[in-house]
């Protein structure tokens, strides 16, 4: 049976007051304080949460600093993912992934391949502000060869075919067919794969055009471009291209798969759950849940079975907040 949803607090001043009381009671009445905290930050939109945090600041309390000082582990990471601005949050995740001896290339791949050019620009600006470093150069330092070119394109170029207001233009079917043929000639029809052609098309064409190219390719050649990517490419570059193609065609499936990997087998990847559940709350979490349920079984049950404590409560609240 699903956890009963707490009543959402709508008014920013009332919500900020509730947030401050929960913060003050966190040590003395922990369970109730967590419930009250989640009632404030676990529901509503990003704008609601931002208004509440700003109102709390006006009342003399820094909620973000409080989370950093008073909470820890996955619960802290999940709360920050809810109340920090997304570009700042993503910049922190990228910085952690590219720092140290063991680079977290899967995290870099996930973030860069699933964000839009405008989102990547905002993340890069936050990265410079906080770390006084160039995110592009830090990321490229983790990769070489074809992968380096791929990520350089994703982080440097906008996509074609998007109008001034950000609305997609009508897709030219003939161009889509021409691009599909170009991919075929650079891959299955060639003795040697020309990875650069795949990089250029998947990183510079509009999302709608890429989707049209995938459809036209399957209609023209009787096989999916995902099958081509799996057969023609190898290693990490294959992972890059497959994830990018999936992110452009079916973003919820990307994160459904991330959640599945996070809870499957021994151990739980709590950071991955934070990225794939909490960070997607205001974007497509409802669709992610639907995709997961259809492919793997009940997502909420799987997460409940693999998590515990305050972090489990946080995940439950966020999932239930977007409905069935």
- How is the chain split into domains, by residue range? 12-70, 86-142, 173-249, 252-324
- Whether the domain at 173-249 and the domain at 252-324 fall into the same CATH topology: yes
pLDDT of residue 12: 86
pLDDT digits over 231-260, tens only? 999 999 999 999 999 999 999 999 999 999
pLDDT of residue 161: 63
Flag whether pLDDT at 190 surpasses 90. Answer: no
The distance of Cα 214 from the centroid of its chain, to the nearest Å, equals: 22
- 44 to each of 10, 11, 38, 277, how far by Cα in Å? 8, 11, 11, 15
State the fold for domain 86-142: Annexin V; domain 1 (1.10.220)
pLDDT digits over 110-166, tens only? 999 999 999 999 999 999 999 999 999 999 999 999 999 999 999 998 887 654 444
* pLDDT mean over 254-271: 95
Tokens at 71, concatenated? 């909470």
- 198 to each of 119, 213, 240, 282, how far by Cα in Å? 23, 11, 11, 31
Q: CB under 8 Å to 65, separation ≥6 — which residues?
A: none
> Which of 10-19, 50-59, 88-97, 124-133 is predicted with the least confidence, judged by mean pLDDT?
10-19
Kindly calculate the radius of gyration of the chain based on its CA atoms and give it in whole angstroms: 21
Q: CB under 8 Å to 142, separation ≥6 — which residues?
A: 97, 98, 103, 105, 108
Tallying the residues shown for the chain, one arrives at: 324
Flag whether pLDDT at 1 surpasses 60. Answer: no
* DSSP per residue, 139-170: HHTT--HHHHHHHHHHHH-PPSSB-TTSPBPP
Q: How far apart are the first and last CA of the chain?
A: 13
Tokens at 123, concatenated? 């993340």
Pick the CATH number of 173-249 from 1.10.220.10, 3.40.50.970, 1.10.1660.10, 3.30.1320.10: 1.10.220.10
State the fold for domain 252-324: Annexin V; domain 1 (1.10.220)
Among all chains, which residue has been given the structure tokens 């994160």? Answer: 255
């Amino acid at each position: 049976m699903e956890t009963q949803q707490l009543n959402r607090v709508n008014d920013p001043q009332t919500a900020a007051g509730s947030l401050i009381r929960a913060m003050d009671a966190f040590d003395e009445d922990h369970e109730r304080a967590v419930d009250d905290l989640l009632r404030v930050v676990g529901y509503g939109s990003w704008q609601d949460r931002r208004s509440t945090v700003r109102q709390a600041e006006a009342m003399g309390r820094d909620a973000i600093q409080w989370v950093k000082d008073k909470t820890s582990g996955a619960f802290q990471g999940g709360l920050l993912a809810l109340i920090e601005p997304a570009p700042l949050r993503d910049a922190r995740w990228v910085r952690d992934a590219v720092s140290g001896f063991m680079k977290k290339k899967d995290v870099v791949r996930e973030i860069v391949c699933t964000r839009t050019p405008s989102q990547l620009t905002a993340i890069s600006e936050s990265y410079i502000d906080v770390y006084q470093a160039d995110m592009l150069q830090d990321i490229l330092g983790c990769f070489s060869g074809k992968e380096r070119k791929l990520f350089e394109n994703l982080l440097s170029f906008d996509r074609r075919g998007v109008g001034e207001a950000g609305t997609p233009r009508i897709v030219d079917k003939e161009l889509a067919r021409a691009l599909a043929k170009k991919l075929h000639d650079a891959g299955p029809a060639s003795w040697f794969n020309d990875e650069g052609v795949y990089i250029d098309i998947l990183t510079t064409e509009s999302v709608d055009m890429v989707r049209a190219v995938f459809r036209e390719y399957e209609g023209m050649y009787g096989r999916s471009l995902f099958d081509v990517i799996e057969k023609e490419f190898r290693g990490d570059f294959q992972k890059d291209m497959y994830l990018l193609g999936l992110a452009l065609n079916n973003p919820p499936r990307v994160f459904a798969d991330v959640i599945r990997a996070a809870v499957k087998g021994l151990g739980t990847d709590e950071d991955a759950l934070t990225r794939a559940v909490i960070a997607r709350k205001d974007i497509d979490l409802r669709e992610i849940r639907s995709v997961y349920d259809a492919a793997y079984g009940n997502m909420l049950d799987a997460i409940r079975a693999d998590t515990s404590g305050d972090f489990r409560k946080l995940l439950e609240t966020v999932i239930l907040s977007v409905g069935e």
